[in-house]
Amino acid sequence: MFKLDEKIWFWTLLVIPVIILLFIFLQIWRRSAQKKFADSALLKRLSPNQSLFKSILKVVVLCLAFACLSLALVNPKIGTKLETVRSEGVDIVFAIDVSKSMLAEDIAPNRLQKSQQLVTQIINSLVSDRVGIIAYAGKAFPQLPITTDYASAKMFLQNMNTDMLSSQGTAISEAIQLSKTYYDNEEQSNRVLIIISDGEDHDGEALEIAEEAAEQGIRIFTVGVGDVKGGPIPIKRNGVVLNYKKDNQGETVITRLNETTLKDIAAEANGVYINGSNTAEVVNMIKEELNKMDKQEFESKQIADFKDQFQWFLAFGIFFLFIDIFFLERKTAWLKKLNLFNETYI
C-alpha cells in the first residue's frame, strides 16, 4: 500500500522537458555557429575530445536529479502495517432555535450567529464523539443525522437561517421529541441533547417531554443566548435595517432571554443550564460535563500506518546533482581507447 502526500508537486516535473528542449536548442545553435567557423573535419581536429555522448549523459543525469527531487516533494508513503483504531465517545445532538426572535441583536452579532459560533467551538473541542443537528422554530426539522463527520456538521450549521422553517414559534418540546430518534441504541447511557435557544417556549410542553427524555437516559444541556433585558427584532434587506417587528397593536416587539424555562428543562433532564454570552466558558463547561460521562465504543477501523519515503528520493536527487557537477563534456580517456563507435583520429 502506498499513497502520495503532496500531488501538486508533480508539476515540478515540467522542468525536465524544458531542460531537454533547451539542450536541443543549444546543440542546434552550437552546430550552426561552428559550421560558420569551419567544416566538420577541421572541427574534429581542433576539438578531438568533444563528446556528444557525454553532453547527453549530463542532461540525462540532471533530469534524473530533478525527477528524484520532485518525487521527494510529493513525499510517497508506504503502508507498513495495519492498526485497529477504536472510536469511543458520546452521542451529542444540537437543537438550534431558528425562530425570528433569534435575529435580535442584544448579543453580538445576533442570537442565531452567536448560537452558530457556540456550536462550532464545541464541535472543535470534540475528539471522537458523534454529533447531530436539529433546527426548530414552530416545528422541529432534522438537519444532520448522527455522524463523526465534523466538517459536514459545521457546513450544515453555517447554512442555517431563520427562513428555513415556515412555521414560526419556539416549539422546544418538538426538538426534544425529534432528538429521541437520533440515538441508535436505547440502552446507551451517553446520550446528550444540547438546546441552544433564547428560551421563548410557545407550546408549554417542554418540561413534560424533557422528563420523558430523562427517563430514556437522555441528558439535556441548555444554552441561553440573548439578554434578559431583551431587544427588538430587526427586519433587514441587504443587511440594512428597514424596521423592527411589531405586534398587532403596532408596538415594537421586545424579545427577552427566558432563562427560567431553559433552567427548568435542564433540571428535569439531569443537565445544566449555561449562559451563552461567554463562548470559552460554554465550551469548557460542556467539555467538563462530557468528560464525566461514560464513553461508548462506536466503531473499530483498520488503518494503515504509512511511513515517509521522501528521504530516499532526496538522497538520490542530491547524488545525481553531485555526479552531474563532475561530469565533463569531453571524452574520457579510457572510453576513448575502447573506441565504441569505430572513430578514426587523424
- Asked if residue 136 lies in contact with residue 174, where contact means CB atoms within 8 angstroms, the answer is yes
**pLDDT at residue 300 greater than cutoff 60:** no
The residue ranking higher by pLDDT, 36 or 261, is: 261
What average pLDDT is seen over the chain? 83
**pLDDT at residue 334 greater than cutoff 50:** no
Residue 302, pLDDT score: 59
Residue 249, pLDDT score: 85
Place of cell 477504536: 86
Residue 218, pLDDT score: 92
pLDDT tens, residue by residue, 189-211: 688 999 999 988 666 788 899 99
Dist. CA 83–CA 81, nearest whole Å: 7
pLDDT tens, residue by residue, 115-171: 999 999 999 999 888 999 999 988 899 999 998 889 999 999 999 998 887 777 678
The residue ranking higher by pLDDT, 65 or 247, is: 65
Dist. CA 314–CA 327, nearest whole Å: 20
Band (pLDDT 50/70/90 cuts) for residue 329 is low
**pLDDT at residue 88 greater than cutoff 90:** no
Residue 305, pLDDT score: 66
- Asked if residue 99 lies in contact with residue 169, where contact means CB atoms within 8 angstroms, the answer is yes
Buried b (16+ CB within 10 A) or exposed e, 234-249: beeeeeeeeeebeeee
- Asked if residue 16 lies in contact with residue 67, where contact means CB atoms within 8 angstroms, the answer is yes
Q: Can you give the length of the chain in residues? A: 346
pLDDT tens, residue by residue, 206-259: 889 999 999 888 999 999 999 999 999 898 888 788 888 888 888 898 999 999
Dist. CA 150–CA 135, nearest whole Å: 17
The model's pTM: 0.64
Band (pLDDT 50/70/90 cuts) for residue 280 is very high
- Asked if residue 220 lies in contact with residue 271, where contact means CB atoms within 8 angstroms, the answer is yes
Band (pLDDT 50/70/90 cuts) for residue 304 is low
Residue 125, pLDDT score: 92
Q: Could you give the angle at the alpha carbon of 58 between the alpha carbons of 52 and 61, nearest 5°?
A: 140
**pLDDT at residue 333 greater than cutoff 60:** no
Q: Domains in the chain, ordered, with CATH? A: 2-75+309-338 (no CATH), 86-300 (3.40.50.410)
Residue 79, pLDDT score: 67
Contacts of 312-317 with CB under 8 Å at 24 or more apart are 313/68, 313/69, 313/71, 313/72, 313/76, 314/68, 314/69, 314/72, 316/64, 316/68, 317/65, 317/66, 317/67, 317/68, 317/69, 317/72
Residue 45, pLDDT score: 61
pLDDT tens, residue by residue, 98-127: 999 999 999 989 999 999 999 999 999 998
Dist. CA 83–CA 242, nearest whole Å: 59
The residue ranking higher by pLDDT, 155 or 82, is: 155
